[in-house]
Amino acid sequence: MVNTRSQTKMAENADLLALLVDLKKGQEERPRGNEESDPGTSNQLVASLRGSSAEVLQGIPSDKLTDLTTIEKALKARFVDSHLTQFYRTELKTRRQKPGECLQVLGADVERLMSLAYVECPLDVRESLAVQFFIDAIRDEDTQLCTRLMDFKDLKSALGYSMKFEASKIASKISMHARTIRIEDNAGKRKDENFQSLLGALKNYSTDLLLGRKTPLEGIRK
C-alpha cells in the first residue's frame, strides 16, 4: 500500500516530535547546575528539520536558534491539532517514573497527557490506555508486575492498588530491618552475659588464690 503525501508528512513530523521528546529527556537528565541549553543538542534538532518543519526556523531570532525551549515552542505553535496530538502521544509512550517521583504525581501526569492526546476517544478506551501507559511508566518492577496482573480497567483503581502495594513493600522492608536489628541486639546481649559470667568466675578465682583457698582447678589437677 502506497502512502499518500499527507501520511508521509505526518510520519516525518511524528519522528521529529519523537526526537524532540528524546532531546528534552536528555536535557532533563543532565546534572543540576548545568541546565543551560546545549548548542549541540539544538543543532541536532535543527539538522533534523525538513520541509514545512524547517520553515519554523524562519520565525526564530538567530540568537535563539540554539535554545531548545524556543524551538520546541515554535514547533508546537506550528503543528497544532493532529501533529500536537501526536507529540503528546509520543510523550505518553516514553513517559517513565523519575527517581523520587511518587506514583500519585506520575498518575496525575499520565491523566493530563491522556486528556491532550486522546480527546476524541471514547471514555472506556481512554481509561484502558491510561492504565496501560501508567503501568508501563512505573519504575519498580515488582509494583509494575503486580499492578499489571490485576488487570484494572481504570486509572484510579490501578493507581490506588499500586500505591498500597508500594506502601506494604516499604513496610515489609522496615519490619525485616527492625527484626534483624533485634536479633543482632539479642546476640550482643548474650555475648555480654557470657563475658560478665566469665569475668565473675575469674574474680572469684583470683580471690581464692589470694586467700589461699583451694580452687576448682587445683582440685581437678589433684
Q: What is the model's pLDDT at position 64?
A: 76
Q: How many domains does the chain have?
A: 1
Domain contains 15: no
Residue 94's alpha-carbon distances to 24, 166, 181, 211, in angstroms, are: 11, 22, 41, 85
What does the angle CA 132 – CA 9 – CA 118 come to, to the nearest 5 degrees? 25
Domain contains 3: no
Q: What is the model's pLDDT at position 61?
A: 81
Domain contains 211: no
Domain contains 135: yes
Q: What is the model's pLDDT at position 1?
A: 43
Find the domain containing 142 and state its range.
83-184
145 contacts: CB under 8 Å, gap ≥ 6: none
Domain contains 219: no
Domain contains 51: no
Domain contains 151: yes
Cell 500536537 maps to which residue? 84
Domain contains 191: no
Q: What is the model's pLDDT at position 19?
A: 64
CA distance 87 to 94: 11
- Cell numbers for 100, please give them: 523520587
CA distance 217 to 222: 9
pTM, two decimal places: 0.50
Express the helix, strand and coil content of the chain in percent, nearest 5 each: 75, 0, 25
CA distance 204 to 117: 85
Q: pLDDT (tens digit, 0 to 9) for every residue of the chain, 222 residues total?
A: 444 554 555 555 565 666 666 666 665 655 555 445 555 556 666 666 656 666 767 777 877 777 777 777 777 666 655 677 888 899 999 999 999 999 999 999 999 999 989 988 888 999 999 999 999 999 999 999 999 999 999 999 999 999 999 988 887 777 666 666 666 666 556 666 666 666 666 666 566 655 655 555 454 444
